[in-house]
Structure 1
């Protein structure tokens, strides 16, 4: 009888500790890399993320095909505009952004695949406990399959795999993440952008990190 009670208690404890879907901190600064399965697109980017003000800044350098590109995006969802910034030439293209802001989070309908330790669990500070989730979500470019890995403590993004019929598989890795905004000015249009006129969008509106990269 005691063994049965112990088993029930242990089972309840395990269920209580089961990882839950989560939302990342509202303010983040860091770096990320992105590549496609066919190696056609490879990108390194620094990002600033503000879920409170619904703002994202992405400064990218990468290769698409055999061409190298540098692009600087500022997405202001509350204002409904996106800026394509060229600091070297001090020019700015301003276009409408008519999509909703989606915070960095594990969707409520995601399925837990595994909880693992990245690195080693042999000693303190030698590993990081992470959770990997999978599911499907609807995007403007079509239905996407995803696999997302975040830290158990803090819900900090670690990596993500996304697949659509248009792009195939894209792999993203996040690193050097810092909670907070190291430079809040990065989420404001530069002075030379303030006079930019709103241009008519001649293609799909950027939706998130992935659609910005796949525009190349």
Structure 2
């Protein structure tokens, strides 16, 4: 009887102990696609679009449309970090701008210097399938220019949102949705009209500079 008591007690406590553990830093799936929205504190920039992420070959492709200073725009960018090249693509005019890209590719993951903030449920945990368990992390930007808050799902480590302090816009918010594992490899290949594009001479750009 005493043995049964302790076994039963251990079974009851195990789930509570598991959920009480502090979430660990994680890395998102190596390849996936999804939608995203971007907004800024000073209300100068608002955009939405689609993106494709390939952490294995260090490639990111996204296309978006939105407004900047009350003027509408469309933007399509292909970042090939292994080649240190960024393509700004205009499918309508069939033009392509080729720029030098900084090679410091950062995988989609919770950064090493991030501190765990909280674990929350988006929606509700009162019913099955009605909520999403999310972990929130906080840290400093690599260049010490500001702070960020990054939210990922507890299961799968998929991005949910990011809040980043920028020099030109103040706080920038990014929301991710409709993530699908895998990606069409063709989205990472520059279109034929980019073949003759010449590399622009100038300072190398990075992921955040394309929003500025």
TM-score w.r.t. length of structure 2? 0.88
Alignment-derived partner of residue 194 in structure 2: 193
Deviation for aligned residue 1:132 = 0.4
Matches within 5 A, 1:18-33: 18-33=22-37
Alignment-derived partner of residue 95 in structure 1: 99
Q: Deviations over 1:13-38 (max 9, x none)?
A: 35873210111111010010010012
Matches within 5 A, 1:125-140: 125-139=129-143
Alpha-carbon distance between aligned partners in 2 of 1:193 and 1:38, rounded to the nearest angstrom = 34
- The unaligned stretches of length 5 or more in structure 2 are none
Alignment-derived partner of residue 115 in structure 2: 111
What is the SS of the residue equivalent to 1:13?
helix
Alpha-carbon distance between aligned partners in 2 of 1:127 and 1:16, rounded to the nearest angstrom = 18
Find 1:167's aligned residue among 159, 169, 172. 169
Alpha-carbon distance between aligned partners in 2 of 1:31 and 1:61, rounded to the nearest angstrom = 12
Runs (4+) off by over 6 Å = none
- The unaligned stretches of length 5 or more in structure 1 are none
Q: Is 2:116–2:138's contact at 8 Å kept on the other side of the alignment?
A: yes
Matches within 5 A, 1:1-216: 13-14=17-18, 17-139=21-143, 143-181=145-183, 183-201=184-202, 203=203, 205-208=204-207, 210-213=208-211, 215=212
Q: Deviations over 1:39-94 (max 9, x none)?
A: 11101121011011111101010101111111110111101111010111111111
Supply the RMSD in Å over aligned alpha carbons.
Answer: 2.3
Q: Which has the larger radius of gyration?
A: 2
What is the count of residue pairs matched by the alignment? 204
Deviation for aligned residue 1:110 = 1.0
